Structure 1
Amino acid sequence: MQPEDLVRDHTIYSCVMGSRAFGLATDASDTDRRGVFLAPTELFWRFEKPPTHVEGPGEERFSWELERFCELALRGNPNILECLHSPLVGHADGRGRELLSLRGAFLSRQVYDTFTRYALGQRKKLDADVRTTGAPRWKHAMHLLRLLTSARDLLRTGELHIGVGDQREPLLAVKRGEVPWARVEAWMARLAAETEEALPGTPLPPEPDHARVADFLFRVRRDSARQADTHHEVVQGVVGGRRLGQD
C-alpha cells in the first residue's frame, strides 16, 4: 500500500490549519490541510511498518498516523494540539470524532514548557533576521505573537482557542511591517511574562491522561484487526463456496 493510499483511504480526521484557521487569512493565503490516518493493524505485522507521516497527496497537505499523532499530542506539541482545535474540520468519521472528544486528555501543564520552547526557537530566528538584514520576517513575528497569546490563554483558562478574534487587525499590521520592531519585542515580552504568571494558578492537570488515550488507540487497533479477519473469512468463504460448487 502506497503512503498516498493510506491518506486517501484511511483518513479519520482532517482539517484546515494555518492563517485560515487562525482568522488571519488574506486573499494571498494558502490553504494548509492537516490530517490523521489510521493504518490498518495488519500492516504492523510486517517487517516494513507503515509511515508515521505522509506529505500529500496534493500541495500543502500533511498527515500523521494516529499513534504518532497521539504521541506528539501527549507531549504537548503546539502544532499537533492546534490541529485538534481547528474550527475548520473537513472530515471526521466515528474514530475521528472520538479523537476530537479526547482533546482535553492531551492538555496538561506541560504545554507551558513545549509552547515556551517553541516560541524561544522562533524568537531566536527572528533575532537572527534582525542582525543580518535589519528587520525580522514580519509574518513569522505575527505568528509568534499569536502563539504566545494562545499559550497564555490556555494556561489561564485550561482551554485552547486558536482563533485570534479581535486581535486580527493588530496582528496583520505586524505582518505588513507597520509596527516598529521595538514595539513588537515589548509585546512579546509582555505575553511571555503573562504566560509565566498564569502557570501557578492554571486549571490544567500536571500530566495528560495517558491511560484514556492509550485505551482509545488500543480499541481502534483491535477493531481494525477484527475487520481484517472478517474480510479474510468472507473472501475464503466465497472462494471455498466456488470450489465446492465446481466440484
Structure 2
Amino acid sequence: MDLRLRGLTHLDPLAVPLPHGTEVTTRVDRVLGERRVPQGAIGRVVASAGAELDVMLVGVGVVRYRRDELVPRKAGQVRHAERRSAAWDALRPAVVLEAVVGSRAWGLAHEGSDTDRRGVFALPFPWTTGLAEPPRDLVSTDGSASYWEVEKAIRQALRADPNTLELLFVRTAEARDEIGAWLLEARGAFVSSAIYGSFGRYALSQLKRLSQAHRLAEHRERVVDWLADDPALSLDDIARKLAAISPRAAPTEADRELQAKEYVKQLYRSLHDQGLLPARDFASLAAFARAGRTSLDTARDLRPKNAYNLVRLIATAIRWLRDGEVDLVVQGELRETLLAIKAGAWPLDRTIELAEAMTPELEAARLATKLPPHPDVPRADALLRRVREEVARRHLAAAPGPLGKDAPPAPVAVWDDGDASPARGEERGSAEGKDEG
C-alpha cells in the first residue's frame, strides 16, 4: 500500500518536469563533430536553459537536448518529478519567509553568479489532517529555489543546521507573512554553541574529504591515457604502471601495487557515480578510454566553489562564537582571500592549509564563547504551536490568502500501486486470449 497525493498512472513521461539530477534516456540521435551519439544514450540532467536541458551522457560528456527528446530513465523518477512540480505549483504562494542566499548574500558574487533563494512555507490546515503525507520541501525545477515546511525548518534550526541559521540571519531575509515575521523575531532561540560543530568542525571534516578526493583525482587522466593508448592493458598492468610513479609510501612493492589497484577501483566507481560509466567495473573504464574521452571534468567536490564556502563556514563559526552575533556578509582581507579561492587562484592544498591554520582560533572561540550550550527548545516549541494555531484560525475563519479561503485543495489519499504490473487476473485473461488465438 502506498498513500499518495493522487493517482499518477496517467503521467506522460514526455511532459513531466526533469529536475537537475534526473536520470534520462535520449529519444533521438545526436551528431557531435565526427561522433554519433545514438538514441537510447543514458545520462543525468545537469543544467537547464529555457526549453532545453544539458545532459551529462555516460562516456560522452554534456550534450544539450530539447525536453521532448528525453524521457526519465526510471518510472519512479517520473512520479517524483510530477509530485515535486505539483507541490511547487500548489504551495509556492504559502511561502512565509524568503531570502537570497549564496554568493550574492555573502558579498562574494560576480557578474555570472547564480541567484539562489531559500525560505519557509506553511502548510494550509487541511493539508495536515488527512492520511496523505504532505510535502516538507518545495524545490524549483532548476534547483535554484528551495523552501522548507515550517516545522522542518524549526527542527533544522534547533540542530544548528548552517543553511537554516543562515536563512534566518542573512540580511536579505524578508517576511512574506506575519508567520515569517514571527520566525525572524524568534531566531535567537536557535543560536547555541552547537555552531562550533555544525559550522566549524563540519567544514574541517569536509575539507579533509576534499583532500582525499584530490588525491584520488591525481592520476586519473594518466590512467585513462594509458588505456586509450593500449586497450589490452589489464587491471594488474595498470596497477603496476601506476605503482611505479605514485609518490605514496608502502612497505613493499606488492603493497604499492595493491594500493594502486585499489585506486583504479575507486576511480571507476567514482566515474560511475558521476554518470560517466554504465557500470562499476574495469571493463567500463577501458571502454570509456577507447571512446576517446580523455579529458575529464573537475569533480564537483573539487571545484573551488566548494572549498571557498567551507572556509567561509569556519570563519563564520569563529565570529559567531567569539562575538555572540554575526554578519554573514564577508568583508576585508577574508573577502579577498575567498574570492581568490573561488576563482581558482589558490590550489586546494593551500586552501586546506589555510583552514587548518584557522583551527586554533576556532577552538579558542569555542572555549570563550558566551553562547548558550543548547538552543531554547521551549521557545521554539511555543513558536511552532503559535504557527499551527494561526494556520488553523485562518482556515476556520476563511481568512483571505493562501492559508485561508484561497488555500489550494487538500491532497486526497488514494490507493496507488504506482507502476506495478497489471492485476493477476488481467494477466491470466490476456494469456488465455492468446492461447485461444
Cα distance, 1:12 vs. partner?
0.4
Question: 5+ unaligned residues in a row in structure 1: which ranges?
Answer: 236-247
Deviation per CA, 1:27-85: give whole Å up to 9, x if none. Answer: 11100011100102232110113211111266501010000000000011011111112
Match of 1:76, SS state, is: coil
Match of 1:231, SS state, is: coil
1:219 and 2:303 are equivalent in the alignment: no
* CA root-mean-square deviation: 2.3
1:93 corresponds, among 173, 177, 198, to 177
Cα distance, 1:117 vs. partner?
4.3
1:125 and 2:209 are equivalent in the alignment: yes
Cα distance, 1:172 vs. partner?
1.0
Match of 1:51, SS state, is: coil
1:145 corresponds, among 281, 297, 311, to 311
Residue of structure 1 equivalent to 2:188: 104
Deviation per CA, 1:226-245: give whole Å up to 9, x if none. Answer: 2212229xx9xxxxxxxxxx
Please, what TM-score do these two structures have when normalized by structure 2? 0.50
Residue of structure 1 equivalent to 2:355: 188
> 2:164 corresponds to which letter in structure 1?
I
Write 1 or 2 for the structure with the bigger share of helix.
Answer: 1
Structure 2 distance, partners of 1:180, 1:49, is 46
Q: How does 1:1-247 map to 2 (within 5 A)?
A: 2-56=86-140, 59-134=143-218, 136-166=302-332, 167-231=334-398
Structure 1 distance, partners of 2:210, 2:382, is 41
Match of 1:146, SS state, is: helix
1:108·1:207 contact (CA, 8 Å) conserved in 2? yes
Structure 2 distance, partners of 1:103, 1:230, is 29
Say if 1:182 and 1:128 are closer, same or farther in 2 by CA, change over 3 A.
Answer: closer
Deviation per CA, 1:168-198: give whole Å up to 9, x if none. Answer: 2221111222234443222101222211111
Structure 1 distance, partners of 2:107, 2:101, is 10
Cα distance, 1:129 vs. partner?
3.2
Match of 1:215, SS state, is: helix
> 2:385 corresponds to which letter in structure 1?
F
Please, what TM-score do these two structures have when normalized by structure 1? 0.86
Cα distance, 1:4 vs. partner?
1.4
Q: Highest CA radius of gyration, 1 or 2?
A: 2
1:37·1:65 contact (CA, 8 Å) conserved in 2? yes
> 1:37 corresponds to which letter in structure 2?
F
- Greater Cα offset, 37-46 or 175-184: 175-184
Structure 1 distance, partners of 2:204, 2:348, is 17
1:14·1:33 contact (CA, 8 Å) conserved in 2? yes
Residue of structure 2 equivalent to 1:241: none
- Greater Cα offset, 125-134 or 192-201: 125-134
Deviation per CA, 1:130-182: give whole Å up to 9, x if none. Answer: 20234942221111111110011111011132211112222111122223444
Structure 2 distance, partners of 1:7, 1:26, is 32
Cα distance, 1:122 vs. partner?
2.1
The alignment of Structure 1 onto Structure 2 pairs a total of residues equal to 234
2:117·2:144 contact (CA, 8 Å) conserved in 1? yes
> 2:303 corresponds to which letter in structure 1?
R
Say if 1:165 and 1:180 are closer, same or farther in 2 by CA, change over 3 A.
Answer: same
Say if 1:191 and 1:32 are closer, same or farther in 2 by CA, change over 3 A.
Answer: same
Deviation per CA, 1:72-120: give whole Å up to 9, x if none. Answer: 0001101111111222235432211121111211001111122234213
Deviation per CA, 1:197-240: give whole Å up to 9, x if none. Answer: 111220101110111111111011112112212229xx9xxxxx
